[in-house]
Copies of this chain bind each other. A is one copy, B any other.
Amino acid sequence: MADYTRMSVEELQAEQDLLRAEYQKFKNMGLSLNMDRGKPCPEQLDLSKEMLKMDNYIGENGVDARNYGLLEGMPEARRFFAELLGTTPEEVLVCGNSSLSMMYYLIDLGWRQGFVDSPRAWRHNNSIKFLCPVPGYDRHFRVTEYFGFQMINIPMTPSGPDMDMVEEWVRSDESVKGIWCVPVYSNPDGYVYSDETVRRLAQMTTAAPDFKIFWDDAYVVHHLTDEQVEIPNILDECKVAGHPDRPLMFCSTSKITYPGAGVAAMGASLRNIHHIAKNMVPMIISYDKMNQLRHVQFLKNKEGVLEHMKKHRAILQPKFDLVKDTFKNELEPCGKIARWTNPKGGYFISLYVMQGCAKRVAQLCSDCGLSLTGAGASYPYGLDSRDSHLRIAPTYPKLDELGTAAQLLCICVRLATVEKLLQRAES
């Protein structure tokens, strides 16, 4: 292998022949591999087996979790999530198994009804804009797209979204009503917002009086190194800055216990919590409090969660290392044809390939039985204008399958790059 960017056309053609032969070997293996979604593997799910043996469903307040009531959640569950979110228990609502559906509900609430600080429901505005740090989480973008909001790309940096751009947008345009944030181990880069980013988000002046930060703390305890990254608390910072009603914080146990049957919670100012709970009354009598109790009895508190997360790390860290090592060994010798992130936690690695190659890489992988998240999926409307980004999800496959997948992926990256360089040489 040598630096592709310095190869002659003849050398590139020879390399292309070699890579095609390599690729064909993988094709002959009849693979069926999936690096598509951020999905825990079965061994991770087994870590929570003990939780299912729980059989006391009376809460500390004497409330029978089996029966109706307590829309806000069991008190011990509110306390548990308050510790994770860094709020008081009264600033927490504990809901069902899906934090996504809580975010959806709050977008819906803002649009349909408005928030405590809204002059009117968002739907009465001619247009609504949302700031979308990119690359970001496709399901966030899908919610705002579904509600017809215009999505504004904000480039991500290793310290968070480009804050100069964020500040300019929110200052100058009152139709900008919110921003999507995954502040710790961002999806998909694995970046962590800096203290300065958090404070600027809290302090910035917004033209919209009801600007909302959707603070999706999905990976708040999902460390992959000894460093347990923590950042300033957005609700605290917003209170200090005089904007207590600005942040809506979310977290869940989806990637602590069970993705399909975890517990999700939100944190916000008391005024927000009262407004939201009041509006939820017509919708539901109470969420699944048995599952809330099950979780608190099993995980106990933040310390218990962090202990539990070490077991996840033991399974996941080798997978992340394997992928990064393969990238290093297979891609670095080819010159600057790709770069990738090196997350200290979370569920993803971002792989940035040469401009105009991402879709081709995903197609080559798919044709060979390896599913990746669709190229462009991490951008609003699925549009990665550089066609460069791929979201790599190393958690689900078994280690040996993952090795094969990473090898194949590198072959595809190299092949797509050579094809692109040959195209350029021709034109």
Contacts and interface: CB of A to CB of B under 8 A. Distances in A.
Contacts of A283: 100-101, 104, 143
Nearest to A48: B66
B142 A98 contact: no
Nearest to A281: B142
Contacts of A419: none
A400 B290 CA distance: 29
A104 B282 CA distance: 8
A369 to B, nearest CB: 19
Interface in A43-67: 45, 49, 52, 55, 64-67
Given A97-B96, A104-B282, A146-B282, A260 B67 contact: yes
Contacts of A108: 108, 112
A37 B100 contact: no
A397 interface: no
A215 interface: no
B65 A260 contact: yes
Contact of A284 (B39, B104, B261): B104
A112 B109 CA distance: 12
Contacts of A112: 108, 112
B98 A290 contact: no
A42 interface: yes
B287 A97 contact: yes
A288 B285 contact: no
A139 B37 contact: no
Contacts of A286: 98, 260
A260 B69 CA distance: 7
Contacts of A352: none
A64 B146 CA distance: 29
A290 B288 CA distance: 12
A260 B94 CA distance: 14
A407 B49 CA distance: 50
Contact of A64 (B45, B69, B97, B100): B45
Given A40-B67, A45-B66, A96-B288, A143 B282 contact: yes
A108 B147 CA distance: 13
Interface string A259-286: 1110000000000000000000111111
A284 B40 contact: no
A316 to B, nearest CB: 15
Contact of A285 (B55, B65, B139): B139
Interface string A138-168: 0100110110000000000000000000000
A34 B63 CA distance: 15
Nearest to A123: B123
Contacts of A139: 282, 285
Nearest to A141: B282
B104 A65 contact: no
26 contacts: A39-B68, A42-B67, A45-B64, A49-B55, A65-B261, A66-B258, A66-B259, A66-B260, A67-B258, A67-B259, A67-B260, A96-B97, A97-B288, A98-B285, A101-B284, A108-B108, A108-B112, A112-B112, A139-B282, A142-B281, A143-B282, A145-B282, A146-B282, A258-B290, A288-B288, A291-B291
Interface of A: 37, 39-40, 42, 45, 49, 52, 55, 64-69, 96-98, 100-101, 104, 108, 112, 139, 142-143, 145-146, 258-261, 281-291
